[in-house]
A = this chain, B = another copy of it.
Amino acid sequence: MASTAPHDSPPAPDKRRMILDAAVVAFATRGFHACRVSDIADEAQVAYGLVYHYFRSKDEVLDTLFLERWDVLLEVIAEIDGQDLPAREKLHAIASFIIDSYRHDPDLMKVIIVEVTRAANSFGRTHLAKIREAYALIADIVEKAQADGSFRSAVTPSFAALAFYGAIEQVLTGWIFDTLAQGEAEFDEAKAFIVETICGGLDAAAAGR
């Protein structure tokens, strides 16, 4: 077997990718700071030096992981915003995407949230602008909803975006640190609860809803 193709096993043992994937595991397991570059190399079954062949530094590995994923998030939000849906459903779709991202690859989301998004210090600082883009996109959705009257204007759009994203992040954090029960049921419940809290509010005031 395998005479024409150079290899027929995995299309190509893309070492760069292997390193990236290994880094996700390593960072998720030990945390970025506690994780040594050699942990990444070991996990990837690759020599120490190779990490530096593909990346300028340990930081760049994390940068890459974050940007790869965050850019997808930004695209998805923009796309959702483009659809013709009630604002409430747009928010639900965004919450869904983020929560499903966690469901598919908890380690990756853990790294992004714990080491970048929630670490605006050390690391996230570099990415503050990128992170803010997401807030801005969400604020846009709220702003338009306020303009067409489907959302009240009691709160500024950017503030609403903060609260919305904040709720999502808290929930993910709860799962990440086992402070909150997780499972298929909880994932869907969380999506609904987040939207219900932010959009519906806690007050019973207008009972009917």
Contact = CB atoms under 8 A, between A and B. Distances in A.
A143 to B, nearest CB: 11
B88 A193 contact: no
A106 to B, nearest CB: 14
Interface string A99-131: 000000000000000110011111001001000
Interface string A16-57: 000000000000000101100000000000000000000000
Interface string A195-209: 011111111111111
Protomer copies:
2
B204 A149 contact: yes
A152 B194 contact: no
Contacts of A77: none
Given A159-B197, A179-B128, A203 B122 contact: no
Contacts of A196: 154-155
Interface string A177-199: 10110000000001001101111
A128 B173 CA distance: 11
Contacts of A132: 179
A171 interface: yes
Contact of A31 (B88, B118, B122, B142): B122
Contacts of A149: 204
Interface of A: 31, 33-34, 87-88, 114-115, 118-122, 125, 128, 132, 142, 145, 149-152, 154-156, 159-160, 162-163, 165-167, 169-171, 173-174, 176-177, 179-180, 190, 193-194, 196-209
Contacts of A166: 163, 166-167, 169-171
Given A120-B173, A165-B170, A205-B209, 5 more contacts: A118-B119, A128-B177, A162-B170, A166-B169, A198-B201
A197 B150 contact: no
